[in-house]
Every structure is written in structure tokens, then in C-alpha cells.
Amino acid sequence: MSDEQIRDDQLSRIRIDQKAFQHLLEDKKELIQNAQIFMDYIFSFMPEKNFVIVLTDEKANILKVAGGQTLMQLCNDEMRFLEGTCWMKEGVGKTAISEAINTGMPAKLCGEDHPMSVHQSWSCYAAPIVDADGMLQGVLCLTENTRQENPNALGMVIASAKGIENQIKNMDKAIKLKEQLKYQSAIVENMSDGFLTIDQYGKLTYINRKGAELLALDQHTCIGKHVGDLVPFKPIILEVLETGKGYTDREYVLENLKGKKMHLLKTAMPIKDEQGELVGVIDIFKEIKQIKKMINSMVGAQATFSFGDILGNSQALRECIQKSKVAAQSLSSVLIQGESGTGKELFAHAIHRESQRSEGPFVAINCAAIPKELIESELFGYAAGAFTGGVKGGRPGKFELAHGGTIFLDEIGDMPLNIQAKLLRVLQDKKIVRVGGDTVFDVDVRIVAATNRSLYNDCTKGLFRWDIYYRLNVLSIQLPPLRERECDVRLLADFFVQKIAGREQKNIQGIDTRVYEMLKGHHWPGNVRELENVMEQAVNLCDAEQILPEHLPAFITRESAPVEAKPDLNFYLRPLEDVEKETILKALAYTNGNVSRTAKLLNVSRNTLYNKMQKYDAVSTVNAGE
């Protein structure tokens, strides 16, 4: 076979399918781009251009050929050294390219080192190109005629291959960084908090969408401007630039560009470079109302009962429900009065649920259950540093937390007079000032108050302010005691037995008629709460299919028992208060001073018990954990 035939035969074996080659070029785009820079560079500083330089992939497929025109032609004529050919196919023999691929090292093959006669007039210098993970990506190979050997050729190829490797690594890093930045900016852009950064000169370098919305700025045109020129107040982050000290979760009230008053919680952090020099500040801010919403949903500041949960067919109760439904539609304050356990809290829930602000929070506070010295800060919050021991950053009170909803002031009759004065301001102006602070906060809160005392009597005795009484009493609901609505006793007793038996998984079908009679005969000083407790006790004791008289507590069965002999009154009679005090102390001793358990034992509310304990100086017996 002639040399020409050998060459053509070889070409037909080493040529890659055109389509496959196009795919390969696409796959290796990055490598080709980076190698091209170095191939051009070598080409530019060798004026004789008496060489050919090729780039192959890791399987010896030639991706790119460059070189002097004459030499390229010669190379083609003698070796078919062409783009789109593979130089590791069978029959090609050992080449510098195959050596570099097989050993992973630079390789040099000159003249007769080549096994193929058609290659023997050429000297080839090849160096592998690897990526950041050490994986072979390709080979750079310089080929020249043996007559014009260049002693620096191998060094030049190795240096260029290294250069390409670095270029690829940098490119990979840049791509990864870009990806990372894309994610980071997506996170920051979609944050529900406002986020901005300034440089060391106070110029805005970045602001996210929420931040621009809160401060009423144009997100794009404000970049590069000094923050002091962008907002109508002295930006607090400039202090961080001055002091180098950041802060966490501080409250600020400011006006944005549109004049809207914003109550924000802010965190600012200084950014320092590797030398510890301050280069900027990060500022993260959110509206307090967002936090209050979260607090309310976490602490369950929601009304759980609706009018559907209030049972009773008596005329008096139906009228109360009717009146409360009307009250729910109004924005005026509501005063619910009634004995302990008549359902005042239940009505307060239902009024909120039926009102237009039912989506807002329902915040309840029991004025009798909080020590007098703490009521003010509980209701109105306190400013930063108001008292030693207080949370450094201050705290909002129940009125602020109830913004947009309803506040239920239970046992309002127990509110101290000095706090009543502050309450008047809320009722009149809908504004509050935190304890120890001077910032005025607007609060949009509907007040529902309740008491089991006669507020009117308290006013006449100077214990309650008339002005507040009149303001609260705009809509007044007087809940009837249970003893005055006999027909509800049966209904409620059935309901409680069903509810408690279901909860306790007891199969109790109903209530014996004698039990109804006994229940009707009781005076119910603890009202519905007392009835609920009695039925709970009965369900627990019941081992039959019906609640029978023997399941009722003795104080109820005794009331309906026939009186056999008149007791010796002189022996039995003692002042009622003495008996009450003794009973309370005994019960407290029995429960180790646990107020909740004692209240349950005595069938009274915690508040009623607490009031009586204060009256009888028994508060010191309370368990410390209470």
C-alpha cells in the first residue's frame, strides 16, 4: 500500500461522525474557549508560525487545530491531523497525545519515536489538561517538523496546559459563585423582613423589595445614595458606622417617605473586612405588627367559643344572647355583669367571634389575678430600661397585642384606681404610652369588660371611676344566675354529662329524674361552673348507665333530704365568715396551697377564691409555684 493509501485508510478509520462531533464541540465549549486564548497567545509570539497546535478531549478527539497555513497543509497531507478525528483509534499507533492521556503526564515523541512511518517526520509535545477535581479534560499538543525542532516547545505546551487548567478552575468558581449569589439574592429578595446594606460612607449598596416597601423607597434608583438623603429621619444605622457596634431587636417608631408611621423592630450588624476595618452595615427590620400577630397565634390569643356554644332556653339567657349579638356589631365597649360562673367569659368570646374584628386577636387579661404592681405594665407594656430586671428592649402590653382585635378585661372591678386613669386615655383617645416611655402608640382595640361585682356600687364608694363606668357601660349585659333559670339546669346537666362521659369514655345514657329534681333544688352559688363540676364528679363516680342520686355530692342530696329532727341551733350556728375561712384554709392545706385545685374542690372560680383568700389573709399559704 502506498503512503497515500495508508493515510486515506487511516483517515477513514479515525474520522468521527459529523453529528457526534458537533455534540462534542458543544459539550467541550468551555474547554475550547479557554484553550483558544492560550493557542492564540502561543501563535502570536512565534512569528515563524512553523508549528501546529491542537486541542483534543480526554479521548484524543481533535477539537481544535491552529498553526501556520503551510505547515497545517503539510500536516494534513502527511498525517490527516484534522479537527473531527480521533487519535487513539486502532492502527494510529503511539503518539504524544495517546501517551499524555495514558500516563497523565506531559509527553514528547519525536521523529522515529513514532511507530507509524507517516508520523516520523514530525515532533510532537503534549500535556494533559485536568479540572479542579483532577479529572482529565483534554490534551494540548504542539507539532512541528523534525527539521525545525524548538527546544522550548514542551515547556511552552506544559505552561499553556497549566494556564488552561487555571482558567477552567476560575471559570468553575465564578459559575458556582454566580449560582450561590443567585440563591442568596432570591432568599434576601423574598424575605418577609426588610433588608438593606450601606457602605462605610453611609451609601446604600442594597435594599430588598420588602425594605423598599416599608421605607417607601424606589428599590433601584435609591442605590448609591446616602441613607441620610433617602429617609425623612436620622437613620439609626449611621450610629453603627460611628460606633462600630451593632444591636439586636430594638424598637423604633419612625415615619416613612409617604408619612406613614412605622413601628419597627430592627437589628443592625457592622460588616468588617479581614483587617477588622468597618466596611459597612447590614440592617434588618420588620413591622412590630407582624411579630404581635405571631405572638398572638403562638399564645392562642383567639376566641374559642361562639354563640352556638352558649346553652340555655330560659327567656333571660335568650335575651342576653340577643343583646350580645347586637353588641357584637358595634364598636362600642361592652360591660358584662353577672355572678361568678354565669358565663361572662363565654359571652366575651362569642361577641368577638361575631364581630367584624373576629379575624383579629382576642386578648384576655384577668385584673384580679395579677399583682397590683404589675397590672400597668401587663396592660400597657414598658419601655426599654423602664425597670431594672425588665427586658432591656422593652415589651408591648396586652393593649398593643390586641391591636385590631378585642381585649377582654375580666374582673375589671379589681382594677386599681391609678390604672383606671390610664385606661380612660385608651377609651377616649385610643392611645397608649408604655410604662417609663414617652412614645405614644395608637391602638385600635375594642374593649369587653366583665365583673361579678356591682360596678355601680363600687363607683358610689369611690372604688371605681364614674367616667370609666359610663364609658364601659355603653352596652351592658347582665347575665342571670343559674338559680333564676331552672329550665336551663336540666339542659346544661345533660350537656355536661354527655361531654364528660364522652371525654372519659364512659357509657352513660342519661340522668335519673330524681337527680334533675335535686339539681333544681340547689341554689347554685357557683352557677354554671358549679353545675359543670358537680356533673364531672357524678360522671366519675357513676358505675351505672344513668347518673343516680348517689353519684351527686352530699351537699346537694342533703338539701333535698327530708328534715327529720330540728338541729340544736345554738350548737350549730357560727358566723358564716368563720366557717368560710376555716373551709378555705382546710382546703388549701389539703391541696398544699394549690389555688387551682382548691378552687375546684370548693366549686368556685380561681378569682373568687383569690379574693376570699385576700380577705382572710390566706394568700401566704399559696404554693410558691402558683
Ligand X SMILES: Nc1ncnc2c1ncn2[C@@H]1O[C@H](COP(=O)(O)OP(=O)(O)OP(=O)(O)O)[C@@H](O)[C@H]1O
Binding site for ligand X (CB under 6 A): 310-312, 338, 340-346, 410, 452, 528-529, 532, 605, 607-608
How remote is the C-alpha of 140 from its chain's centroid? 55
Cell numbers of 46, please?
A: 512565534
Distance in Å, CB of 484 to ligand X, minimum: 13
> Is the distance from CB of 397 to CB of 434 less than 8 angstroms?
yes
511/58 Cα distance (integer angstroms): 90
200/221 Cα distance (integer angstroms): 20
Q: Which is nearer to ligand X, 148 or 478 (CB)?
A: 478
In the chain, helix, strand, coil percent, each to 5? 50, 20, 35
Distance in Å, CB of 480 to ligand X, minimum: 10
Helix (H), strand (E) at residue 546: strand 546-547
Distance in Å, CB of 181 to ligand X, minimum: 57
Q: Which residue is nearest to ligand X (CB)?
A: 343
Q: Which is nearer to ligand X, 426 or 493 (CB)?
A: 493
Distance in Å, CB of 604 to ligand X, minimum: 8
Q: Which is nearer to ligand X, 160 or 605 (CB)?
A: 605
Distance in Å, CB of 534 to ligand X, minimum: 12
Distance in Å, CB of 609 to ligand X, minimum: 10
Q: Which is nearer to ligand X, 291 or 311 (CB)?
A: 311
Q: Which is nearer to ligand X, 47 or 308 (CB)?
A: 308
Query: Cβ contacts of residue 97 below 8 Å, gap of 6+?
Result: 54, 56, 60, 87, 88, 107, 124, 126, 139, 141
Burial class (CB in 10 A: 0-12, 13-18, 19+), 390: middle
> Is the distance from CB of 446 to CB of 304 less than 8 angstroms?
no
Distance in Å, CB of 456 to ligand X, minimum: 17
> Is the distance from CB of 512 to CB of 551 less than 8 angstroms?
no
Q: Which is nearer to ligand X, 156 or 364 (CB)?
A: 364
Q: What three-state secondary structure class fits 253? A: strand
Q: Which is nearer to ligand X, 251 or 345 (CB)?
A: 345
Q: What three-state secondary structure class fits 435? A: strand
Distance in Å, CB of 369 to ligand X, minimum: 10
Q: Which is nearer to ligand X, 230 or 317 (CB)?
A: 317
> Is the distance from CB of 419 to CB of 398 less than 8 angstroms?
no
362/386 Cα distance (integer angstroms): 27
Q: Which is nearer to ligand X, 137 or 342 (CB)?
A: 342
Q: Which is nearer to ligand X, 280 or 341 (CB)?
A: 341
155/126 Cα distance (integer angstroms): 10
Q: Which is nearer to ligand X, 10 or 340 (CB)?
A: 340
Q: For residue 54, count other CB atoms closer than 10 A to its CB.
A: 28
Distance in Å, CB of 606 to ligand X, minimum: 8
Parallel, antiparallel, or unpaired for β 122-130 and 107-110? antiparallel
Distance in Å, CB of 504 to ligand X, minimum: 16
Q: What's the chain's length in residues?
A: 626
Q: Which is nearer to ligand X, 82 or 316 (CB)?
A: 316
How remote is the C-alpha of 165 from its chain's centroid? 45
For the four alpha carbons of 208, 211, 213 and 218, in that order, the dihedral sign comes to negative
Distance in Å, CB of 338 to ligand X, minimum: 6
Q: Which is nearer to ligand X, 444 or 626 (CB)?
A: 626
Distance in Å, CB of 492 to ligand X, minimum: 6
Residue that is written with C-alpha cell 341554689 in the block = 523
Distance in Å, CB of 577 to ligand X, minimum: 20
Q: Which is nearer to ligand X, 413 or 593 (CB)?
A: 413
3-state secondary structure 350-405: HHHHHCCCCCCCEEEEECCCCCHHHHHHHHHCECCCCCCCCCCCCECCHHHHCCCC
| CA atoms lying within 13 Å on the CB side of residue 213 | 11
Residue that is written with C-alpha cell 474520522 in the block = 15
Distance in Å, CB of 610 to ligand X, minimum: 10
Distance in Å, CB of 384 to ligand X, minimum: 34
Q: Which is nearer to ligand X, 54 or 310 (CB)?
A: 310
Parallel, antiparallel, or unpaired for β 446-451 and 334-337? parallel
Q: How far is CA 556 from CA 344, 477, 499, 518, 551, in A?
A: 25, 30, 21, 7, 10
Helix (H), strand (E) at residue 249: strand 247-255
For the four alpha carbons of 517, 522, 528 and 529, in that order, the dihedral sign comes to negative
